[in-house]
Structure 1
Amino acid sequence: MKSQYLKIIISLSVIALIFIARLSYLQLFTDRYALNAANTSIKIEYIIPPRGVIFDRNGKILVGNQPAFEISYTAALLKPDFDTLGFCKLVNISKPAFIQTMKSIEQEKYYSRLTPMTFMKNLSREDMARIQELIFKYPAFSIVPRPQRQYEINTSGNLLGYTNQVNDNDIKKDSLYYLPGDIVGKSGVEKSYEKELRGEKGMRYIQKDIRQRSIGSYKNGELDKEVVTGKDLTLTIDYDLQRMAEEMLVNKHGAIVALDPNNGEILTMATGPDIDPNLFTGPEKSRNLYKLANDTIYENKPTFDRSVQGTYPPGSTFKLLTALAAMQMGVMTDKTIFPCGRGFFYRGKSIKGHGGADPLIPSIQVSSNCYFTYAFINIIKKYPGNPSKGVDEWQKIMESFGLNKYMDNDLAVGAKGKIPSGKFYENRMAALYKANGSKKDPKNWDEMSTGAIYNGMGQGDVMLTPLQMANFVAAIANKGWYYTPHIVKSIDGKPNPDPRFKKKHYTAVQNPQFYNVVLKGMEAVMLRGTGRGLMSKDFTQLAKTGTAQVPQGKDNSIFVLIAPADKPKIVVAAVMEHAGFGATWAGPACTTIAEKYVTGEMKREHLYKKMVTSSFMPEYKRQYVADMKRKGWYKEPVVDSVKLKKIKDSLKAIQDKKIKVKNTNVKPIKSGAK
C-alpha cells in the first residue's frame, strides 16, 4: 500500500516539475506570451510604409503618395469622464454622428477593446495640425499617418487601379500581414503588384501600464522592426501614347492596345469609357466608386476594361490566321483560287463578297469574305466524315497564338476569349437534332446548320480580346513567335525578374513562307487595298481592316497594324464598338499611335482630330432606347413645360424681329450655289 502511495507521489512530483520547467522556459527564455497581441502589458504599434511610386517607361510619375491622416480609437483607453461634446467640437462632427460611428465600430467583425480601430479618415493637413494640439486630452484617440495615393494624371484609371481598405477576403488571403483598416490594391497594377508596392510595416513593441498608457519600449527596442517603403514600379506603358489613345476613345466604347513585338511590352492599353483615377481618392471616394460600378446607361460600364475583358468577333482581321492555319494544315496554298465571283454561294447560302476569283494576297488586300469562308470549309472537311477532327486541329493552331486561354501575364483582369472545338459543334448539332426529333449522329455535324462556316472570316463563334488581337499580330510580325504581353518593365530600377516574360512562345505555324505571303497581303492592304487611305509617306505599315457584324446595331470597327514594315517596333489593335467600317474609325486610331511612336511626332493631325471630336453616343443611346422598349421598361422623357414655353416664346420673338440676331460669319450665298 505504501509503495503504491509512494509511486503516486513520485508521479505527481515529476509532472509538477515538468510543468514548472516548461512554464519557466516560456516565461524566462521566450517572448511567446509577452508578445501576444492580446497581452495587456505589451502592445505592437505598426508603422505604415508609403506605397511604391509608379512611373511610365520614360520616367514620368503616374502615381505617387501624399501625406494623409486618420484618427484611431482604442476602446480600452476611453475614460468614464470622457468629454464627448468637447471631442466632437475638436473633430468637427455632431454628437449623433459620433454615437453612430462608435456603434458602427463596435459592430465590426474584428472589433476589440484593445485594438486601435479607424474612427475618421482623410483628415486634411489643416485639420490634422489643429486636432494634434488638443488630441492629448482624449487618450482613447490618436492621429495615425497613413499615406494616400496621389495621381499625377487624369486618365487610365482601369490600367492603374485603386486602393481601398481591406475586407474579410483580403485578410483571409494574407492574415499575417493585413489588419482591419489596412490598405490594399483592389484593381489594375495596384492589385497585380500589391506585394511589391505595399512594402513592409514597421513594428514597435510598447510596454503599457494597467491603464493602457505607454511606459516605454519593450526590451529597449531590440525586437522592433524597421519600416520598408514599397518598391517603385516602371511600367512598359508610354504615357504619351496612352493619353492619345484615351483621348481618341472619348464618347466611344472600345479599346486600343499597342505592343512592342520584340519583347511583349505593352505600350498602350486604353479602354473607353476611361476613368479619371483622381476619383479614387478623397472623401468622395466611396461614392465615386459606387457611381462608376453602377454606370450602365448606354452600356457605359467604365469599370469594365474592354482592352482585356471585352471579347469581340475579330471580323476580317482574323482572316490572317485563317490563311496561316489553312496553309499549315495543307488544305490550301497561297496560290489556291476559290470560286469567288460576286460573292460567296454555297448550298443555298450567299455572303456578300469582295473581288473575284483570286489567290491569297489579293484576297487579303480586298478582304474577300468568300475566299476565307471557303478556306475554313476546307479546314472543316480535311478529315471526311469527321469534321470535329479538323476543327480541333485548327483550334490547337489558334491556341498556339495565345487565343482561347488566359495569357498568364501580370494584369489584374482578363478574358480567355473563345475558339470553338469540335465537341462544341457536336453539342450544338445534338441540340438541333433533339429539337427536331432527329436521331442522327451529331458527330458528323454540318457546317451550315451549326454556323461554323462563319469562323473563317472572323464572325461565327470566334471571340477575342483586343490584347489577344494585338498579340497574334505580334506573332505574325515575328514570323512565328511572341513574348507574353506584360505591363511592368522594372521593379526598383531592376528589370522585371518574372521568368514568364523572358520565354519565347512558338506558334504551331513555323514555315516562314506562310508568314511572308500573309505579310505581303497586309502590305497590299495599305498600298492599294482597304487601308490605302491611311498610308503615310513617313513610315511603312502592314495592316488588316475588320468590320464585324454584331446583333445590337452598327458594325464594330476593327483594325490591326504593324510598323514599320521591315523592322517592326510596334503593333496596334483597335476596336470601336458600333462605329462602322474598320478603316474609317479603328484605322485612324491605330495609324496615329504608330506614327507617334515610330516618328516621334504626330504628322497627320487631321486623323487625330477626327477621332477626338467624333462621338458614337447617339448610336449607343439608340440601342439603349430600343432595348428598353423591347423589354417594356422605357419611359418617354418628361418635358419641362416652363422651359418649353420659354423656348417657344424666344423663337416667336425672333420671328417677330423683337430680338436682333447678328452673325458676322454668315456670307451671302452666291447665285447658283448649292
Structure 2
Amino acid sequence: MRRQRKTKGKTSSLRFRLNLLFFIAFLLLAILVAQLGYLQIVFGDKFESEVERTDKTVVSGNVPRGVIYDAKGRILVGNQAENAITYTKSINVKSSEMLATAKKLTKYLKVDVTKLQKSDLADFYLADADNYGAIIKKLPKSQLYDSTGNSLSESKRYHYANAYVIKNVDLSLSDAEQQVATIYTKMASAYQLSTVYLKDNNVTADEVAEIGEHLSELPGVAVGNNWTRNYPNGDSISSILGNVTTEQQGLPEDSLNQMLTTGYSRNDRVGNSYLEKQYESILRGTKSQTQVEVSSSNQILNTLTEYSGTKGSNLNLTIDSAYQAKVEADLQTVYNSAKTAGVTKYSDGAYAIAMNPSTGAIYAMAGIKNNPQTNKMTDDALGVINRTFVMGSSVKGATVLGAMMNGVITPTNNTLSDDAIYLPSTPVKKSVYPVGTFSSMNAVTALEVSSNIYMMRLAMLEGKAAYSPHTSIKMDDNIFQTERNYFQQFGLGYKTGIDLPGEVDGYIGSTLNEYNQLKVGSALDLSYGNYDGYTLMQMGQYISTIANGGYRMQPYLVNSIQKTSNSGEKDAVIYQKQPVTLNRVGFTNDQLAVVKQGMYNVVHGTQAWGTAHTLKDVKPSMSAKTGTAQSFYYNPDDPNNTNPPETTTLSFVGYAPSDNPKLAIAIVFPNLDVNNEGGYNTTLAKMMVEDYFKLEGDN
C-alpha cells in the first residue's frame, strides 16, 4: 500500500510540471503573437515604407563643347549630334545580369567589335555563373582559403579565377560572341550609376526603334544623344586647333588626378592638345545634374533632370580661315616648286606666319614638315612656335637698332668701313657680294644690300674690339650678353607668350670654346643672324615691333569668348581680348626711322646688291628684310655624324603698307640646297601680302 501511494504522488508531480511548462510556452507564444500584432497595427506602415525605401543620387552628365569660329564667324570646329545607345550601371548589379542584358541587346544592336584584352575576355567568360562555379571548383585550396581555413574574400577568389581562365581556357569567340563581349565589356567598365556609350556613332533608325520598343527588357539601357567634333573647313590648321579625347581614352594620364579633383570623371572627353587643351575650362561647359532614384533592391526607378547644364562657351579666333587657306596653298605651291627644282633633298619643311603688327592678333600660321628620307609632307603649323632656326640676315634690323641704343652709331653718324674681316685660322668673314665692292657704307645701305661686314663691325664697336687683320682680335667678355640683351627686347630667343601650349625658347649658342676662351668669331656671326636660333613666331613679333614703332606685342589666337544660347547660337560676349604690350623697346623715333628706311630700300632701293627689289611692284608698298643663313642638315638616323651636309636657310620678315603697317609676315625655308637660286622666300612673301589685301579689299 505504501508503494502505491508513492508512485501516485510522483505521477501527479510530473503532470503538474508538464502542465506548467505547456502553460509557460503558451504564454510566451501569446506574448509573441500580441507583440507581432501590436507592431503590425501600430508600426506596419513605417516598416512597409522602410522596405520600399528608395535612395536618391545626383549623377552628372556631359554637355556639348563650345564651338570654335574664325575671325569672320565661320565654324572651324563644331559639334555634330548623333543618336547613341547608353547604359547606366545600377548599384551592385551582378555580372550575370549585365551579361543577360548584353545578350538580349545584340538582337537589336550591331556594334563595331573592339579588340579586347585577355583579362576582359576572362571577365566575359566568368560573367556566366556556371562558368564561374566550374572554375572555382578547379582552383587549389590555397586560392580559396587562408592558412587558418577561413574563406578568402570574393574579390581574391575572382582574381585567381580570372588568372586561371587566362592561362587555361580557350577564349576565342564566334562573331556573335564578340558582339556580346564588346557590349558586356563596355557595361562592366562603367562605375555605379554612371552612364557609358554602348554605341555612339552610326546608330541606325531601325536600331533606335527596336531598342526603344524593348527597353523594359533591357535594364539600364537607353536611347540617347551623343556629340562629336566636326570640321566644316577640313583639316586646315588642325594641328593648332588640337583634338578631344574619346570616352575610352578619358582624362589624360599626366593630368588625371588634378582633373578628378575639379569635377571631371575618368571617362570624360577633354581637350588634350593645343587650343582644345589651352581653353578646356572654357569649352567644356557645365555638366548637367540628374537625380536618380534607386530602390532598396538597387534598381533604378526614376530619373529627373534637375539642371540641364550649360553648353561650353565659344572661341572666336583671330585667324581668317579664307586667308589661312590661301597662305597654306601659297606655301605648298612655293615649296613644291623648290622640290621640282631639286633643292629640297635635305629640307625638313617650310613655315609662314601673318599677324597684325599693332595688336599681335594672328591672321594665319602655316607649316609643312617634310621627311627627307621618305619625302612625305605633313601639316605642321605648330612648327611656327616649337621649332627654332638660324634665320640669318633677317635679324639685322635688331642689330642696327641695338647698336644705336648702345651709342656706337647714331642716326646721323653711322658710316663704317666695309673692309672684310680676317681672323687667324678662319675663312674670311665677308658679305655675299665680292670683297671690295664697297669701301664704306651707312646703316641704310647696309640693310639694303645686307652687309654682314657692317653688322660685324657694329659688334666689334660694342665689344670694344682690338683688331689686327690676320693676327688677333680681342673683345669684351660680355659681348654676347650685350648683343643678346638688345635682341631680347624684340623677343628674339624668348617665348612670345602666345596662347598655345608647347611654345619653346630660342636656341642660344655657347659663348666659350673647349679651351674656355671667348668665341669671338661666333660673336661676330651672332651680329648678322648666323649663330643663335629663333622660332618663326619670335621673328613675327620682332618685325611687328619695328612696324608698330617699338611695342613688343603678345601674339594671340583667341579674340573673344561668347556664351552659347539654349538653341546653340552665339550669346553674350564674356571676354574680349585686349592687346598686351610686353615691353617698349628703348630706341628713339629717329633711330627707328633709319631702320625703316633701310627696310623700305630693301624692296624699293636702287643698289645693285639689293635683296628684295623684285617686290617693289607689290601693292600696297612693302618694307622687308631677307635672310640667308648657313645651316647643316641633322639626320636623326645618324645623330653622331661629325660631317653633316651643309645647307642654306632662307628667311624673310616684312610689313605692309610701309607707311601705315596693317600686316606683318615672317617666312622660313630651312635646309635648302646650298646651290639653290633663292627667291622662294620673296615669292611667298609677295603672294601672302597680295592675297591678304585682296581679301580685305584694301589695295
The TM-score with structure 1 as length reference comes to: 0.70
Q: Which residue of 234, 246, 255 corresponds with 2:351?
A: 255
Bigger RCO (CA 8 Å, 6+ sep): 2
Is residue 445–residue 598 contact of structure 2 (8 Å, CA) maintained in 1? Answer: yes
Q: Answer whether contact 1:545 1:583 (CA < 8 A) is retained.
A: no
- Residue 77 of structure 2 corresponds to residue 67 of structure 1: no
Match of 2:454 in 1: 371
* Partner Cα separation in structure 2 for residue 272 and residue 296 of structure 1: 15
2:579 to 484, 502, 524: 502
Q: Which residue of 1 aligns with 2:256?
A: 171
Question: What is the deviation of 1:395?
Answer: 2.1
Q: Which moved more, 1:200-209 or 1:99-108?
A: 99-108
How far apart, in 1, do the equivalents of 2:242 and 2:100 lie?
Answer: 41
In structure 2, C-alpha distance between the alignment counterparts of 1:139 and 1:106, rounded to whole Å? 11
Determine the structure 1 residue equivalent to 2:208. 129
* CA positional deviation for 1:186: 1.7
- Give me the whole-angstrom Cα distance separating, in 2, the residues matched to 1:232 and 1:546: 40
- Alpha-carbon contact 1:192-1:412 (below 8 Å) kept: yes
Q: Which amino acid aligns with 2:78?
A: G
Q: Counterpart of 2:359 in structure 1: which amino acid?
A: N
Q: How many residues align?
A: 520
Counterpart among 56, 60, 63 of residue 46 in structure 1: 60
- Rate the CA distance shift 1:123–1:599 in 2: closer, same or farther, 3 A: closer
Residue in 1 that maps onto 2:592: 515
Q: For residues 243-276 of structure 1, what are the alpha-carbon distances to aligned partners after superposition, in whole Å with 9 as ceiling and x for unaligned?
A: 01111233842211111111111111112249xx
1:90 aligns with 2:108: yes
| 1:380 CA drift (Å) | 3.5
The partner residue of 1:225 within 307, 312, 316 is: 307
The alignment's C-alpha RMSD in Å is 3.3
Indicate whether 1:543 and 2:639 are aligned: no
When structure 1 is superposed on structure 2, of 507-516 and 478-487 the one drifting more is 507-516
Residue equivalent to 1:472: 542
Please identify, of 368-377 and 71-80, the stretch whose mean Cα deviation from structure 2 is larger.
71-80
Q: Is the 8 A contact 2:366 2:381 kept in 1?
A: no
Contact preservation (8 Å) 1:344, 1:352: yes
Q: Does 1:578 align with 2:578?
A: no
Give the match for residue 135 of structure 2: none
Question: Which of 582, 592, 611 is equivalent to 2:687?
Answer: 592
Shift of 1:537: 5.2
Question: 1-side partners of 2:525 and 2:405: how far apart?
Answer: 20
The alignment status of 1:393 with 2:456, answered yes or no, reads no
> 2:389 touches 2:670 (CA, 8 Å); kept in 1?
no
Selected match of 1:330 from 398, 407, 420: 407
Residue number among 217, 223, 229 corresponding to 1:149 in the alignment: 229
Partner SS for 1:518: helix
Structure 2 equivalent of residue 556 of structure 1: 649
Aligned positions of 1:202-281 closer than 5 A: 202-217=288-303, 224-250=306-332, 252=335, 253-273=349-369
Deviation per residue, 1:151-180 (Å, 9 max, x gap):
111211112111113233343222132112
Preserved contact between residue 156 and residue 270 of structure 1 (Cα < 8 Å): yes
Distance in 1 (CA, whole Å) between partners of 2:504 and 2:622 is 29
Q: Deviations over 1:393-452 (max 9, x none)?
A: 3322222222332222311321111345xxx41xx43xx12xxxxxxxx3x62413xx33
Secondary structure in 2 matching 1:68: strand
1:457 matched to 2:528:
yes
Measure the CA separation in 2 of the matches of 1:247 and 1:60.
19
- The alpha-carbon deviation at position 231 of structure 1 amounts to 1.0
1:561 to partner: Cα distance: 1.0
Aligned with 2:272 (options 175, 186, 190): 186
Match of 1:196 among 272, 276, 282: 282
Given that 1:556 and 1:582 are in contact with CA atoms closer than 8 Å, whether structure 2 keeps it comes out as: no
Gaps of 5+ in 1: 1-38, 275-293, 434-441, 605-674
Matched letter for residue 385 of structure 2: V
**Alpha carbons of 1:250 and 1:538: their partners in 2 closer, same or farther (altered >3 Å)?**
closer
Q: Which amino acid aligns with 2:482?
A: E
Aligned CA distance change for structure 1 residues 246 and 189 (closer, same or farther; 3 Å): same
Match of 2:194 in 1: 115
Q: Does 1:313 align with 2:380?
A: no
Quote the Cα distance in structure 2 between the aligned partners of 1:296 and 1:50: 42
Aligned to 2:159: none
- The residue number in structure 1 matching 2:601 is 524
Once residues 430 and 697 of structure 2 are traced to their aligned partners in structure 1, the CA distance between those partners, rounded to angstroms, is 37
Question: Are the structure 2 counterparts of residues 485 and 321 from structure 1 closer, same or farther at C-alpha, using a change threshold of 3 Å?
Answer: same
> Is this contact kept in 2: 1:249–1:273, CA < 8 A?
no
User: Whole-Å Cα distance in 2 between the matches of residues 75 and 250 of structure 1?
Assistant: 51
Equivalent position SS for 1:455: helix
Letter in 2 for 1:340: D
Q: Which amino acid aligns with 1:509?
A: G
How far the C-alpha of 1:64 sits from its partner, in A, is 1.3
Q: In the superposition, relative to structure 1, how do residues 104 and 83 fare at CA in structure 2: closer, same or farther (>3 Å)?
A: closer
Compute the TM-score of the two structures, normalised by the length of structure 2.
0.68
Cα 1:180/1:97, change in 2 over 3 Å? farther
Distance 1:40 1:472 in 2: 67
- Worse-matched range after superposition: 593-602 or 151-160: 593-602
Cα distance in 1 between the residues matched to 2:188 and 2:452: 63
Change (3 A) 1:105 1:478: same
Change (3 A) 1:388 1:205: farther
Amino acid at match of 2:684: A
Q: CA deviation at 1:130?
A: 4.7
Using the TM superposition, give the Cα deviation of residue 331 of structure 1 relative to its aligned residue in structure 2, in angstroms. 2.6
CA offsets 1:510-564 (integer angstroms, 9 cap, x no match): 2112211111111111013211112225311000111222211542221111100
Pick which of 508-517 and 590-599 moved more: 590-599
**Separation in 2, partners of 1:603, 1:502:** 23
Q: Aligned partners of 2:574, 2:443: CA distance in 1, in Å?
A: 41
Q: Against the structure 1 CA distance between its residues 116 and 409, is the aligned structure 2 distance closer, same or farther, given a 3 Å change threshold?
A: same
* 1:270 aligned counterpart, secondary structure: strand
Structure 2 CA distance for aligned equivalents of residues 232 and 124 of structure 1: 28
Q: Residue type matched to 1:245 in 2?
A: V
Structure-2 separation of matches of 1:360 and 1:555: 25
Q: Distance in 2 between matches of 1:84 and 1:249?
A: 53
Over 3 Å counting, the alpha-carbon distance change for 1:238 and 1:382 in structure 2 is farther
| Residue identity in the other structure for 2:669 | M
Q: Which residue number in structure 2 is paired with residue 658 of structure 1?
A: none
1:408 aligns with 2:494: no
- Out of 114-123 and 525-534, give the one that drifted further: 114-123
CA distance in 2, matches of 1:73, 1:564: 60
State how far apart, in whole Å, the 2-side matches of 1:372 and 1:346 are.
Answer: 16
Runs of 5+ consecutive residues of structure 2 not aligned to the other structure: 1-52, 112-174, 336-348, 467-472, 563-570, 634-645
Residue 594 of structure 1: how far off its partner (Å): 1.8
What is the identity, as a one-letter code, of the residue corresponding to 1:447? Answer: V
Mapped pair 1:486 → 2:556: yes
